[in-house]
Structure 1
């Protein structure tokens, strides 16, 4: 168990803390823990790359931690009423579709290579930024209209574009005659 993997596991354990904080209207705590989770993501990635500590387990745990964190925050903020439910449904549905497609490809013996698309990386940045700004606005009581609508629109467009491109890639992959390794 490498140090980056331990840090990633700690990030996963922070998810229920953030959800509890949001549900308890402890937005300062939710924001602080979100920032800690974000820093831990950068630190584990830096350590894995810089000190050659990357592992197969880490390659699976890191995106799982990111998805668990973002999906949980969006669901909690949606239930709390801080973000519209349609954006929660969009963000969560995208991740469910991607995970479902990966599982189907494994079951059918044609595993999809796990390589994030550039639009997916931009989508993640937009989703994280939107969640961070919503939590900060709730924690520190500032209004950020109309920027909230602009950022939410960017999240929606990038989420739709990302899932569409993944679907195209997955359909292309599944249509080839090659079997997975």
Structure 2
């Protein structure tokens, strides 16, 4: 596909990307290309061709043609009367979201409420086993995505989201059972709520027009990429470890209350630090080109 650009008396034919926006005057265009015997055709949507409105033959991907010296400049009236040669065409960026890593991540999302239910039923051993399985799938989907090049922009969003959902469910249920201090639970949940609200905001400002609800919630249309900060990755690992230790403290009485209390203070500090890192790190969220 090609696009045409006019700069004074020079017409430039170049290889174009997915968007074509330039409109030119057909008589001038014919005059400019007459020495080169270029055929003007219009390629219709059904694949057929009609004469006069589209360039069909030109082998080089980029070539400059200079019009005859007697070519007149395009006036405002000409621009109003000119026949459009190339119309605007936009290709919506989409990606395949049905990959093995994404399926494993969705499975981890579904496991979160099951873990919470088991905790409320005081089935701590079963909850610990399902929690360990969720942690294993977290490592597995990351390995598969890197090994077999199955990374997706959706994966960069739902993978940390699955961790946060599991973290939120366990934080609430463990706090309800008295295993996790309520102030620490409030810090963890407050940070996550702030990040979720920020995500909705960046989705809105990065989504190309038209901004409809169906397109806003269409996960196959990526508009922004979230890049977790290093301290955020460390904090997530520490929080998940704390959830696991909280379960073992009631099922196996390990670790000791003193060790668990000290670890809770550490997680509280890294949680606040990681939340602030998204504010002061410039490349934490990257808006994709439209």
> Which band: TM-score by shorter chain?
0.7 to 0.9
- Deviation string 1:107-155 (CA, Å, 9 cap, x unpaired) is 3449765111111111111101111111111122335121112111110
Rg larger in 1 or in 2?
2
Q: Tell me, yes or no, if structure 1 residue 50 matches structure 2 residue 147.
A: yes
* 8 Å contact from structure 1 (residues 112, 173) kept in 2: no
TM-aligned CA deviation for residue 180 of structure 1: 6.4
Could you state the TM-score of these two structures normalised by the residue count of structure 2?
0.56
Name the structure where strand makes up a greater proportion of residues.
2
Aligned partners of 1:8, 1:164: CA distance in 2, in Å? 26
- Segments of structure 2 that go 5 or more residues without pairing to the other structure are 1-97, 208-222
Q: Which structure is higher in RCO with an 8 Å CA cutoff and minimum separation 6?
A: 1
Aligned partners of 2:262, 2:276: CA distance in 1, in Å? 21
* 8 Å contact from structure 1 (residues 8, 65) kept in 2: yes
* 8 Å contact from structure 2 (residues 191, 275) kept in 1: yes
Say how many residue pairs are matched: 176
* 8 Å contact from structure 2 (residues 153, 225) kept in 1: no
Q: Tell me, yes or no, if structure 1 residue 127 matches structure 2 residue 127.
A: no
Partner of 1:18: 115
Structure 1 pair 106–12 and aligned structure 2 pair: CA distance change class (3 A): closer
- Segments of structure 1 that go 5 or more residues without pairing to the other structure are none
Q: Tell me, yes or no, if structure 1 residue 60 matches structure 2 residue 157.
A: yes
Q: What does residue range 65-80 of structure 1 map to in structure 2 within 5 Å?
A: 65-80=162-177
Q: Out of 91-100 and 111-120, give the one that drifted further.
A: 111-120
* 8 Å contact from structure 1 (residues 78, 85) kept in 2: yes
Structure 1 pair 108–173 and aligned structure 2 pair: CA distance change class (3 A): farther
Partner of 2:280: 168
Partner of 1:40: 137
- RMSD value over aligned CA atoms? 2.2
